[in-house]
Amino acid sequence: MAVEPVKIKRGFQETESLKMLKESAVNVNLCYQCRKCSSGCPVADLTARDSVSDRTSAGPLDEKTGAGPDSVPEALRSGMARDSVPNSVPEALRSGMDLTPIQIIRAVRLGLEDLALNSKTIWLCTGCETCATRCPQDIDIAKVNSILRIMAYKRGIKPKLPNVAAFDRQFMANMKFFGRVYEMGLVNQLKLATRNFMQDMDLAGPMIFKGKIGFFPNFSGFLTMKKFLSRFKKARAGKN
C-alpha cells in the first residue's frame, strides 16, 4: 500500500520510542534494509504465501485450458500482485499490515513515531519472532512492536484493531483478578467488550461437548497475585 509522503525534521530526534528501545537494548539504527523481516512475516501480506500453499489447494480447473492452481503461471501470479488475491481471504485482511515490519523500523528511526503508533501493524503482529530471528543485525523487531503497543496504551491512542487491544485489556484484568487466567470468563469478557456475541459461537457447542471448557475459575494463585501486585505498584511508582 502506498504511504503518504511525510515531512522529516532535520537533525536527530530523541523520541520516546527510541528512548524506550534503548532501555530494552534494541538498536533500530543497525537496520540496513535487507527486508528479511518483512518477507518472513506471516501477517505482513496475508496473501503473499499463497504461491506456496496453493499448490495443495484443490481449486477448480479452467474449463478451456485445463490449467489448475498447480500450474506454474497461477502459482507465480498469486502472491506477486495484490489484485490477484483469492476470494477465500477475508476482505478486511486482504492487505494484511498497512506498514510492513521494515517500514515500522524506518518510521521509528526517522522519528515518525505517530505513523507507527497509528498503524494496523503493531496490533496485527503475532509476536512469532520470525523477523527478529532472521534479522542479520539482531534487531528484535517483534519487541519494537510490543514497545510501540505499550506506548500506544500510555498515550491513549485509538488502536487500529480495537479487538486486539480489547483482548489485551481483558486478559490483564482477568489475570490480575483471578491470579490464573480463567479462560471461559475471558471469552465472556471479550464478548461483552467487543459486542461480537456471535464470534466463534460455532465452536462453543463442540468444545463444551468435548469437555474442553473449564466452567469454574481456579483461585489457587489468588493470594500470590494479590501480594505480587501490591509490590508491583510500589516498584512501578518508585523513582527510575
Partner 1 sequence: MPEAIAYYPGCSLHSTAKEYDESLRAVFTKLGVELKEPEGWICCGASSAHSVDELLAAALPAQNLQLIEDMGAKEVAIPCAACFLRFKTSVYDMKQSKHLEGKVAETIGKKYGDTVTIRHPVEILEKMFANGAKNQIKKDLGKIKLACYYGCMLTRPPKVTQFDDCEDPQTMDRLLKQLGAETLVWSYKTDCCGASLALSEPDVVVKLSRDILADARACGAEAIVTACQLCQANLDTRQGQIAKKFNENFNLPILYFSQLVGLALGLEPGKLGFDKHLVDPKPLLRKYGLLL
Cell digits of residue 143 = 519487541
Output 29 or 163, the one with its CB closest to partner 1: 163
Output 81 or 235, the one with its CB closest to partner 1: 235
Find the shortest distance in angstroms from Cβ 174 to partner 1.
9
Find the shortest distance in angstroms from Cβ 35 to partner 1.
18
Question: Crossing angle, helix 101-109 and helix 141-155, to 10 degrees?
Answer: 60
Output 65 or 88, the one with its CB closest to partner 1: 88
Find the shortest distance in angstroms from Cβ 172 to partner 1.
6
**Look-up of cell digits 489457587:** 220
Find the shortest distance in angstroms from Cβ 18 to partner 1.
15
Segments in the chain forming alpha helices (H): 16-23, 36-40, 50-53, 72-77, 101-109, 113-117, 121-124, 130-134, 141-155, 162-178, 183-194, 201-209, 222-237
Q: Could you tell me the sign of the dihedral formed by the alpha carbons of 136, 140, 141, 144, in that order?
A: negative
Alpha-carbon span 150 to 123, nearest angstrom: 11
Output 110 or 187, the one with its CB closest to partner 1: 187
